[in-house]
Amino acid sequence: MRMSTLFLRTLREDPVEAEVASHRLLVRAGYVRRAAPGIYTWLPLGLKVLRKVETVIREEMDAAGAQEVHFPALLPREPYEATNRWSDYGDGIFKLKDRKGADYLLAPTHEEMFTLLVKDLYSSYKDLPLSLYQIQTKYRDEARPRAGILRGREFTMKDSYSFDVDDAGLEASYERHRAAYIRIFARLGLEFVVVAAMSGAMGGSRSEEFLHPTVIGEDTFVRSPGGYAANVEAVTTLAPEPVPFDGLPAAHVEETPDTPTIDTLVAVSNERHPRADRPWTAADTLKNVLVVLRHPDGRREPLAVGVPGDREVDPKRLEAALSPAEVEPFEAADFARFPALVKGYIGPGVLGTENASGIRYLVDPRVVDGTAWVTGADAAGRHVYDLVAGRDFTPDGLVEAAEVKAGDPAPDGSGPLELARGIEIAHIFALGRRFAEALDLKVLDENGKQVVVTMGSYGVGVTRALACVAEGNHDEKGLVWPRELAPADVHVVATGKDPEILLAAERISAELLAQGVDVLFDDRPKVSPGVKFKDAELVGVPTILVVGKGLAEGVVELRDRRSGDAEQVPVADAVARVSAVVRG
Amino acid sequence: MRMSTLFLRTLREDPVEAEVASHRLLVRAGYVRRAAPGIYTWLPLGLKVLRKVETVIREEMDAAGAQEVHFPALLPREPYEATNRWSDYGDGIFKLKDRKGADYLLAPTHEEMFTLLVKDLYSSYKDLPLSLYQIQTKYRDEARPRAGILRGREFTMKDSYSFDVDDAGLEASYERHRAAYIRIFARLGLEFVVVAAMSGAMGGSRSEEFLHPTVIGEDTFVRSPGGYAANVEAVTTLAPEPVPFDGLPAAHVEETPDTPTIDTLVAVSNERHPRADRPWTAADTLKNVLVVLRHPDGRREPLAVGVPGDREVDPKRLEAALSPAEVEPFEAADFARFPALVKGYIGPGVLGTENASGIRYLVDPRVVDGTAWVTGADAAGRHVYDLVAGRDFTPDGLVEAAEVKAGDPAPDGSGPLELARGIEIAHIFALGRRFAEALDLKVLDENGKQVVVTMGSYGVGVTRALACVAEGNHDEKGLVWPRELAPADVHVVATGKDPEILLAAERISAELLAQGVDVLFDDRPKVSPGVKFKDAELVGVPTILVVGKGLAEGVVELRDRRSGDAEQVPVADAVARVSAVVRG
């Protein structure tokens, strides 16, 4: 690769829409270019890195005994209809019709097709276990494509699927994939945390995410000192023990003028209705939040969610808990349809399918029988005190929707949780039999009996992992690639106008190439040394060899991009020295 | 690869829908599997061969100085709107909307996006020449997907684009691509003919197709002894010299009852109106055929085409000549709207925009001024004789729509044409400035003046080329891969129940692998030798090593899949012998 002809233009300015470093630098250094919102073109340098990431993944999947296949991206509706995902995905997938009016989709993931393929070819327990994978282009019609290739609408994914005859087999396949993923991310030099996750639209018994911890992450996860880790959607609440009703005071309604918020309610309660033992706090109140669920079939259902007043409803946790329904705001027009709802003073008295509003009412797991709450009395300026769950009101069910806070106890008793942010780079699912049942994938077992196959599905975001590597390997000057992923082994920079310099740099580059060292050679004749150095730092090849004015004294300069360290090397030793460095 | 675990099931029966050998055998041998009409999944063996085909293409493109990039398949409408191709492609492309209602397409080819990318990055003649390519998934909503991966709706294509500052540069880029393609197909072992082609929707000054000659081909092409070669759409007619009108007899209408066809007209003419010098032939008659053009904007336009009566209208030539309009039948309902048309007796008297029907009238180039014709008199049972072109009627223009026949003269005077069939495996276009003009791709020339860039576009059907290789390399037993493309170097088959045999085969396979020889090892324990041999012949690895009962005498059998030749090799020499054979 010669910079004089390489299809590359580095940019000095950040692209206006770029919010995160990987996006900014991959565009500025000429690795990718935006083609449409969330849709990117790979330029020569970017494609080289992408192929190297794919190679790492391919090698580890092969080593784990998975076999590579390649499915189409354009797929017919029917298999996705059979598993309900055609509708469950909602607006999240691209749908289209062919010239005959038949429905197709651009696949966001391929469980159905792999299931059908195995059904097509295999029929006996002797054929299993089987793991198949592909590295393939996926499509999701993201509402908010962002951060360059971190969250795109067309992206590369490695997805694999395991097929086993029984649960023990699935467990082994799951563990094999998990171990392979750990090796993959270690080789990519990518820090990661494995966290418990919700299975969501996938269903299944067990699911974990690999998160790359970073402040720009869209996902929040928790960790405890004792080793618990989960994304917030998957955190379960440690509910207190129920309290016997005996001796609990009766509920009583009080005047609480101008208290439409929890803060005002607590203040007025302490002022007008103080409790004897201690002041009221927000945790004593029960806040009732209204939302609308949009179900996959388009149906809109109002829903009330009750959480302790010291916590917000976390929209992601709520949505995960109610998936595949999506959560939308409860608008003024919705209020108009339910005259029983008194805004700011809504309480369990009117909520629930059996009560005046008829609105389904789900509460936080902390609202156990016998707990007493201050909550809306369904009349302006009034709240009810000592309203006891299970005695004075009965919700329609529980929901994990309250925000998780730092310091909350881990559900497994392993200590207080801390919160952090991360990017999902892989997700593994012990799917179980949902897809095999829906698509009738069975094999004969040892006794000649038909049994439903049990499956796992395992995905790595290939282009996203690349972006995370860039995110975690850069400084203010540009990218700093790990050696295994760099677009070249060494960046040879010829500086100065002396023709001898260019000749020497040519000769060194040719000798390196002959030794199998991949060279990016900056041979541009009319570009200043300053610009060349800036470009080399931006592009981020880990080793830079400068052939310049030192040549007159018989030396060249070997620079380490990451540390910035430079050493003078006799020109006669340059090739051997570079070879040794790039081979580690 | 071990057959005991390889994801493969060979089929003894041909798939019902398979018409051609490559389709039949690639499915039966477990290389591909149909996912939807014209949409295929690549199984492990198929993917290996596909990657090898891609590698050959990639190496030759790199050697020709082209740089690899990778574009999205999902693209916004706007660039294709700017070049009219959004509508010109009609039903031939997949279109869709995203969740915001914006229009997208699945790209059938990427001229627009490459043009915009170069515009985005480059601005000077010094940046050119430039050649970029990608190996990428393409989409076309074929009306009749057929023959497996020969004509699919999702397929892999290598497309490249050249950018030059002047015509001489384009010519050089075009020739460089042409030469690279010749090397590619030679390496793939694929017979090909380079023929002149129409540029069609692409526009441009020069275009050639690489056709793989085969009787199952959908394209017809012609060749002359003197070296002329073209696909039939591109063949131009050698028009005769105009004839002076002086002395030509006047036109006269005659009764020709029951002559709605050319055959009946010739017979009746010879019977009732014989000519003095020789009998009438079909070539003396002018046949007028009505069709309807569907324009990209949806407009339907009736059209009359006049050709000598000894030739049919060739729908492909007609459509190519009138592209991007599509040709549809002229239906009974259309006749009803034009009372001037007398079915079976339609003549130039009512045709043409200036005449009674108002229908545009295009004629074959042989209908030059002064030629006299027998043709319909626009009344039932009547024809007009001695109707002279240019004197008695004036068509609206010429059209190359008459069928090309074997023996027709080559337009360059290089002798009589012969016809053959082939499959288009590549197409190269000297596009010129059409796309650069539409999308405003200009660079500064040496004099600091803005000049429009001139472009070429060059495509190889990657999956189609693979199918052609299969088509040209098989026998009644199965596939016979060329060595460079085979899914493995050697197929080691262990036969018989003696555990020594399996051990020996294991050892030989391991030693071959250690030497870098890629082994497909049939280690299946309970499969008969007959089934194993049949599978090996079907799968088509060029070298087969049988480790079987000969082992007791210290020999194994080395078979050549193509010739069927077999030789006994001492087991101690087996590894060395196989290595030598597979390395040619």
Q: What is the ipTM of this complex?
A: 0.89
Per-residue pLDDT at A205 exceeds 80: no
Residues making up chain A, counted from first to last: 584
Per-residue pLDDT at A204 exceeds 70: no
State residue B202's pLDDT score: 58
Query: What amino acid occupies position B94?
Result: F
Question: Which residues lie closer than 8 Å to A314 by C-beta, 6 or more apart?
Answer: A232, A401, A402, A403, A404
Q: What are phi and psi of B230, to 5 degrees?
A: -155, 155
- Nearest partner of B311 among B415, B210, B399, B427, judged by Cα: B399
B189: left (phi over 0), alpha (psi -120 to 50) or beta: left
Measured torsion, CA atoms of residues A529, A535, A541, A547, in degrees rounded to the nearest 10: -10
Per-residue pLDDT at A157 exceeds 80: yes
Helix axes B44-63, B167-187, angle to 10 degrees: 140
Q: Which residues pair with A329 in a beta bridge?
A: A291
Task: Identify the residue among B53, B58, B93, B96 best suited for mutation to test binding to A, counting A beta carbons within 10 A and taking the highest.
Answer: B96
State residue A129's pLDDT score: 97
Measured torsion, CA atoms of residues A20, A26, A30, A32, in degrees rounded to the nearest 10: -100
DSSP string, B90-102: GGGSEEEE-TT--
- Nearest partner of A91 among A139, A136, A137, judged by Cα: A139
Judged by CB atoms closer than 8 Å, whether chains meet at A7 and B121 is answered as yes
First-to-last CA distance in chain A? 22
State residue A144's pLDDT score: 82
State residue B90's pLDDT score: 82
Per-residue pLDDT at B508 exceeds 70: yes
Degrees, nearest 5: CA angle A406-A412-A416:
25
Per-residue pLDDT at A293 exceeds 70: yes
- DSSP, collapsed to helix, strand or coil, labels residue B558 as strand
* Bond into A129 cis (ω within 30): yes
- Nearest partner of A293 among A304, A284, A282, judged by Cα: A304
* Bond into A487 cis (ω within 30): no
| The two structure tokens encoding residue B144 | 């009749």
**Quick check: A113 contacting B, CB < 8 Å?**
yes
Q: How many CB atoms lie within 10 A of CB B553?
A: 9
| Per-residue model confidence as pLDDT tens digits over B127-152 | 999 999 999 999 999 888 877 888 89
Contacts of A70 in chain B (CB under 8 A): 41-42, 47, 50
Q: How many CB atoms lie within 10 A of CB A477?
A: 15
Q: How many CB atoms lie within 10 A of CB B250?
A: 10
Task: Identify the residue among B8, B55, B99 best suited for mutation to test binding to A, counting A beta carbons within 10 A and taking the highest.
Answer: B99
Contact A216, A466 (CB under 8 A): no
Q: What percent of chain A has pLDDT over 90?
A: 89
CA distance B419 to A97: 39
| The two structure tokens encoding residue B97 | 């909307």
Structural domains in chain A, CATH included, are 21-72+108-235+419-471 (3.30.930.10), 252-398 (3.90.960.10), 488-582 (3.40.50.800)
- DSSP, collapsed to helix, strand or coil, labels residue A319 as helix
Contact A500, A548 (CB under 8 A): no
Per-residue pLDDT at A200 exceeds 70: no
Contacts of B67 in chain A (CB under 8 A): 6-7, 44
pLDDT tier at B201 (50, 70, 90 boundaries)?
low
| Per-residue model confidence as pLDDT tens digits over B267-290 | 999 999 999 999 999 999 999 999
Contacts of B91 in chain A (CB under 8 A): 99
pLDDT tier at B324 (50, 70, 90 boundaries)?
confident
The average pLDDT across B104-112 equals 95
Contacts of B326 in chain A (CB under 8 A): none
- DSSP, collapsed to helix, strand or coil, labels residue A464 as helix
A112 to chain B: closest CA residue = B35
Q: How many CB atoms lie within 10 A of CB B226?
A: 11
Judged by CB atoms closer than 8 Å, whether chains meet at B95 and A96 is answered as yes
Give the burial class of B516: count Cβ atoms within 10 A of its Cβ; 0-12 exposed, 13-18 middle, 19 or more buried.
exposed
Mean pLDDT of chain A: 94
| Per-residue model confidence as pLDDT tens digits over A38-79 | 999 999 999 999 999 999 999 999 999 999 999 999 999 999
State residue A143's pLDDT score: 84
**Quick check: A130 contacting B, CB < 8 Å?**
yes
Question: Which residues lie closer than 8 Å to A274 by C-beta, 6 or more apart?
Answer: A280
Contact B212, B420 (CB under 8 A): no
Residue holding tokens 């927000």? A282
Contacts of A120 in chain B (CB under 8 A): 33
DSSP annotation of B52 reads: H
Give CA separation, A330 vs A143, A348, A395, in Å. 20, 17, 19
Task: Identify the residue among A9, A61, A69, A326 best suited for mutation to test binding to B, counting B beta carbons within 10 A and taking the highest.
Answer: A69
Question: Which residues lie closer than 8 Å to A510 by C-beta, 6 or more apart?
Answer: none
**Quick check: B53 contacting A, CB < 8 Å?**
no
**Quick check: B71 contacting A, CB < 8 Å?**
yes
Per-residue pLDDT at B438 exceeds 80: yes
Contacts of A53 in chain B (CB under 8 A): none
Longest dimension (CA), chain B: 97
Contact A393, A348 (CB under 8 A): yes
Q: Which residues of A252-279 are buried (b: 16+ CB within 10 A; e: fewer)?
A: eeeebeebeebeebbebbeeeeeeeeee
Contact B240, B368 (CB under 8 A): yes
Contact B198, B234 (CB under 8 A): yes
**Quick check: A7 contacting B, CB < 8 Å?**
yes
Q: How many CB atoms lie within 10 A of CB B150?
A: 27
First-to-last CA distance in chain B? 22
DSSP annotation of A217 reads: -
Per-residue pLDDT at A496 exceeds 90: no
Judged by CB atoms closer than 8 Å, whether chains meet at A73 and B137 is answered as yes
Judged by CB atoms closer than 8 Å, whether chains meet at B117 and A47 is answered as no
Q: What are phi and psi of B211, to 5 degrees?
A: -110, 140
| Per-residue model confidence as pLDDT tens digits over A389-407 | 999 999 999 999 999 999 9
| Per-residue model confidence as pLDDT tens digits over A434-489 | 999 999 999 999 999 999 999 999 999 999 999 999 999 999 999 999 999 999 99
Q: What element of type H or E holds A432?
A: strand A418-432
Query: What amino acid occupies position B466?
Result: L
Query: Which of the residue ranges A117-121, A143-147, A158-162, A536-540 would you say has the lowest mean pLDDT?
Result: A143-147
Query: What amino acid occupies position A545?
Result: L
DSSP string, B139-195: E---SS-BTGGGB-SEEEEEEEEEEESSHHHHHHHHHHHHHHHHHHHHHTT---EEE
What does the radius of gyration of chain A's CA atoms come to, in whole angstroms?
30
Per-residue pLDDT at A203 exceeds 70: no
Q: Which residues pair with A474 in a beta bridge?
A: A479
Per-residue pLDDT at A201 exceeds 60: no
CA distance A124 to A442: 8
Number of A:B CB contacts under 8 A?
130
* Bond into A416 cis (ω within 30): no
Query: Which residue from A39, A69, A143 is facing B72, i.e. has the nearest CB?
Result: A39
pLDDT tier at B200 (50, 70, 90 boundaries)?
low
Query: What amino acid occupies position A438?
Result: A
Instruction: Give the up-direction half-sphere exposure of residue A263: CA atoms within 13 A in the CB hemisphere.
Output: 1
State residue A419's pLDDT score: 96
Residue holding tokens 């971190």? A150
Q: Alpha helices of B323-368 — where are they, by DSSP H?
A: 332-337
Longest dimension (CA), chain A: 98
State residue A284's pLDDT score: 97
**Quick check: A9 contacting B, CB < 8 Å?**
yes
CA distance B184 to B425: 11
* Bond into A249 cis (ω within 30): no
Q: Which residue has the higher pLDDT, A135 or B298?
A: A135
CA distance A253 to A248: 16
| Per-residue model confidence as pLDDT tens digits over A498-548 | 899 999 999 999 999 999 999 999 999 989 999 999 999 999 999 999 999
Per-residue pLDDT at B206 exceeds 90: no
Judged by CB atoms closer than 8 Å, whether chains meet at A113 and B41 is answered as yes
**Quick check: B33 contacting A, CB < 8 Å?**
yes
| Per-residue model confidence as pLDDT tens digits over A364-387 | 999 999 999 999 999 999 999 999
Judged by CB atoms closer than 8 Å, whether chains meet at B137 and A137 is answered as yes
| Per-residue model confidence as pLDDT tens digits over B547-558 | 999 999 999 999
CA distance B105 to B93: 7
Measured torsion, CA atoms of residues A393, A395, A401, A406, in degrees rounded to the nearest 10: 40
The average pLDDT across A13-17 equals 85
